[in-house]
Amino acid sequence: MIDISFMPPRTVNYGLSRLRDLGLIREEESDDDRRERVYELVSAPM
């Protein structure tokens, strides 16, 4: 995601942690590589 966004890693990680804390996304380990994370949208804001 960081490569696609061209944003600093710190900014991307902060945004992902905020979305996770708000319950909007879910974070899981990748099936292919346990070091990678997969993010899934849980609910869309109204």
d(CA 20, CA 26) in angstroms, rounded, equals 6
**Rounded Cα–Cα distance for residues 37 and 13 (Å):** 12
Q: Nearest to residue 25, comparing CAs of 46, 10, 43?
A: 43
Q: Which domain holds residue 6?
A: 2-41
Residue 29 lies in a domain: yes
Count of domains for the chain: 1
Residue 15, C-beta contacts closer than 8 angstroms, at least 6 positions apart: none
DSSP 9: H
Residue 22 included in any domain: yes
**23 CB-near residues (< 8 Å, 6+ apart):** 42, 43
Q: Residue 46 domain-assigned?
A: no
Residue 37 lies in a domain: yes
pLDDT tens by residue, the chain, 46 residues: 678 888 999 999 999 999 999 999 999 998 999 888 899 999 776 6
**Global confidence as pTM:** 0.72
